Structure 1
Amino acid sequence: MKRLTMALLPAVFWVLLYAAAEGKEIRRMETLTITSPGFSQGGAIPARHTCDGNDTSPSLIIAKVPSTAQSLALIMDDPDAPMGDWVHWVVWNIPPRTWEIPENSLPPQAVQGKNDWHRTGYGGPCPPSGTHRYFFRVYALDITLHLGNSTTKGDLERAMQGHILGKGELMGTYKRR
C-alpha cells in the first residue's frame, strides 16, 4: 500500500501542476440528494407516473445544493431499454433554491428539452417487457444555460461539461401491468 501511494504521488503532483498552469480550478464534486414522496430509492414508481396511468411526472425533493449553484438540471433515463439508454425527461435552468418539483409541474424558469419520443417534456416509464430501472439525476451547475427546447440529453450533457458542481441520483423501477 505504501509503495502504491508513493508511486501515485508524482502523478497527483503533475495533475495539480497542470491544472494550476492552465488556470483551472480542481473542484470537489458535491453530492446532492434527490428523493420522491411517491417511491423510495430502488422502489416501484407508481403507475400514475407511467404510460399505464396519467403519465405525470413524480414529485421530487432536492437537497444539499451547493450555495454557489446558479441553476439545476435534471435528466431521467432508462438504461434497460432494448435499444439502449432511453431518455424520458430533460430539464435545465431549474432555480438553485428549488427544494421541491411538485408532481406534474416545474418552476416557471425551467426549460424542458426533447425526450426520446421526440416530444418536449416528461414521458413516463413504459417498458416493453420486464422490470426496468429509471434514473432521475439532478445536477448543480455554476451557470445558467441558454439552450432551445429542441435540446436533447446529449446536447445538455455537452453544455454542462466543466460546469457541474454536484449531482445526485434517485432510481425507481417499473414493470407494466
Structure 2
Amino acid sequence: MKRLALSIALIAFSAHSYALELTSSDISEGQLMSSKFEYKGMGCDGGNLSPQLSWSNAPKGTKSFAITAFDPDAPTGSGWWHWTVLNIPATTTSLEQGASGKLKIGHETRTDYGKPGYGGVCPPEGDGMHRYQFTIWALPEAKIDLPTDISPAVVGFTLNKIALDKAVLTATYVR
C-alpha cells in the first residue's frame, strides 16, 4: 500500500513539474502591483508599463504563445481586458518590462481601452482590491489570424478553444 501511494505521489509530482509555468521579476502571485504598471488616463496616473514575464515548460506541439491580462473584478459584468498579444514565436520565453508597443515579435490586439497594447491597471477608486490575471497560452498554431481591432472577448474565446496549456499569474491592485 505504501509503494502504491509513493508511486502515485511521484507520478503527480512528475506531471506537475512539466506544467507550463509563468513567472515575473515585476509581479508576484497575490501581491500588490507597483503604480508603474497602472494606466495613465481615465483618472489613473501610473507609468503604464507592461510587466516583465517569463515562461517555461511548454507542452510538446507548442508552435506559438499568446499573453493576456484580464481583470475579472472590473465592475462591467464582463471583466476588463488589459492586454492581448498573439503569435509570439515558440522559441520566445520572456518579455521584458515595458515591451508592449515595442514588440518586434507577436501581434498586440485591441484591449478594453479601445486600442492595441498594454493598458495598465486602473480599478475605480473605492472599488476594493482587483485581481489581474496574466496568462501565458501555449498554442498548436504558429499564427492566429485575428485582426488588430478584434474584440478581446473573441481573442479569449479563441485561445480557450485551441490552447494546449496555459499558466496564470494573478497580481492585485487597489486605488
User: How high is the TM-score relative to the length of structure 2?
Assistant: 0.78
- 1:38 equivalenced with 2:29 (yes/no): no
**Equivalent residue letter for 1:74:** I
In structure 2, relative to structure 1, the CA distance for the partners of 1:152 and 1:31 (3 Å cut) is farther
Q: Distance in 2 between matches of 1:157 and 1:135?
A: 12
For 1:18, the equivalent position in structure 2 comes to: none
Deviation at 1:161, TM superposition (A): 5.2
Q: Once the two structures are aligned, what percentage of the paired residues are identical?
A: 33
In structure 2, relative to structure 1, the CA distance for the partners of 1:40 and 1:158 (3 Å cut) is closer
Aligned length: 147
Task: Give the SS at the match of 2:164.
Answer: strand
**Equivalent residue letter for 2:95:** I
Q: Distance in 2 between matches of 1:164 and 1:99?
A: 17
For 1:159, the equivalent position in structure 2 comes to: 158
- 1:145 equivalenced with 2:138 (yes/no): no
| Counterpart among 69, 75, 78 of residue 82 in structure 1 | 75
Rg larger in structure: 1
Q: How does 1:40-59 map to 2 (within 5 A)?
A: 40-51=28-39, 52-59=45-52
- 1:95 equivalenced with 2:67 (yes/no): no
For 2:12, the equivalent position in structure 1 comes to: none
| Counterpart among 62, 66, 89 of residue 59 in structure 2 | 66
CA contact (8 A) 1:75 1:153 kept: no
Segments of 5+ residues of structure 2 without an aligned counterpart are 1-17, 40-44
Deviation at 1:154, TM superposition (A): 2.1
Q: Distance in 1 between matches of 2:156 and 2:174?
A: 28
Deviation at 1:92, TM superposition (A): 0.6
CA contact (8 A) 1:41 1:171 kept: yes
**Equivalent residue letter for 1:152:** S
Query: Residues 157-177 of structure 1, C-alpha deviation per residue, up to 9 Å, x if partnerless?
Result: 34335421111000000012x
For 1:8, the equivalent position in structure 2 comes to: none
Task: Give the SS at the match of 2:155.
Answer: helix
**Equivalent residue letter for 2:139:** L
- 1:122 equivalenced with 2:118 (yes/no): yes
CA contact (8 A) 2:112 2:152 kept: no
Q: Distance in 2 between matches of 1:147 and 1:101?
A: 21
Q: CA RMSD in A?
A: 1.6
Query: Residues 134-156 of structure 1, C-alpha deviation per residue, up to 9 Å, x if partnerless?
Result: 00111100002111111222222
Q: Distance in 1 between matches of 2:96 and 2:160?
A: 28
Segments of 5+ residues of structure 1 without an aligned counterpart are 1-29
